[in-house]
Amino acid sequence: MMAQPHQIGYHNFHAGISHLSQWTCCDNRDLEQHILPVILGAPGTVPQVIKAVCSLLDFTYIAQLLMHNELMLLKLKESLNNFHAVKHIFITNGSRQGVNGTIGDLNIPKLHMFHHWPVNIMTSGTCDNFCMEIGEALHRIGPKAAYKSINKKEYDVQMIQYSTATQHQSRSPQDWIILSKQPHFIMSIDDAVNKFNLGDFILSICRYLDHGDDGSQHHAQYQYSTPIPQGFETIHIWTSFHLDLPLPNDFYDPISEWIHCKTRDPVLVEVNPS
């Protein structure tokens, strides 16, 4: 690979490829332009290896087309069948190596996935409609973050528990509302009722104290008997507040806005509930 002559328009792997740890789509594309000439020039290369590499390259190039028809899908299947017809050569020549020596099979999930590509293209469209960026981005804040936070023993169970606990620690709706430090009005309940024309304000507070009613329940001809607690004699009133909306994950931009309350639509916000 390092001995390939430099050509304008082609990436030259002058330091080889063994040091590359994070592959990108561009790296794969550049390597595809060199891999077949390198294998053809390698000593001891047999025709089965060349045919296998050519078949995989044909499969890759056909799968990347922006438009397919029945003929191209047949060629896609034919390229994959040609590879499987000679793939045993990688076991015979000892290329399929593992920790304990030569592996006697090619049971690789990505090779199996190739069989589904023709059907997926027919049902879901061409391959340019899909990308791995979303999955890769979520992989960093999901499994990778969970794996770094455990002791690496029985990691699958611990990672599930970590993810479950993280989801349960998401912000509650009370955290979405941000009030200014100083209220816009400080006054008694009677003054608030008169100023903002809140005829049912005292009744609503009593319903909340008696039944925990947040306004979504209906009580016909409700007569309140609970006296207004001393803490409610003077109330703090905000006519606007900052709403910080929750996000699906950290890759979304923050969404927030100021909400200005209308005079006839008051909102009772419980601050620092005990």
Express each pLDDT in 5-32 by its tens digit.
Answer: 777 777 777 777 777 777 777 777 888 8
The domain of 255 spans 173-260
Domain contains 241: yes
For residues 69 and 96, state if they share a domain: yes
Domain contains 209: yes
CB-based burial label for 204 (10 Å; 0-12, 13-18, 19+): middle
Distance, in Å, from the CA atom of 273 to the CA atom of 163, rounded to the nearest integer, reads 28
pLDDT attached to residue 49: 92
Domain contains 123: yes
Average pLDDT over residues 34-59: 88
Question: Considering only 68-72, 127-131, 139-143, 245-249, which range has the smallest mean pLDDT?
Answer: 245-249
- Number of structural domains in the chain: 3
Average pLDDT over residues 139-152: 81
Distance, in Å, from the CA atom of 244 to the CA atom of 242, rounded to the nearest integer, reads 6
Pick from 21, 63, 1, 23: which is nearest to 11 by CA? 1
Domain contains 163: yes
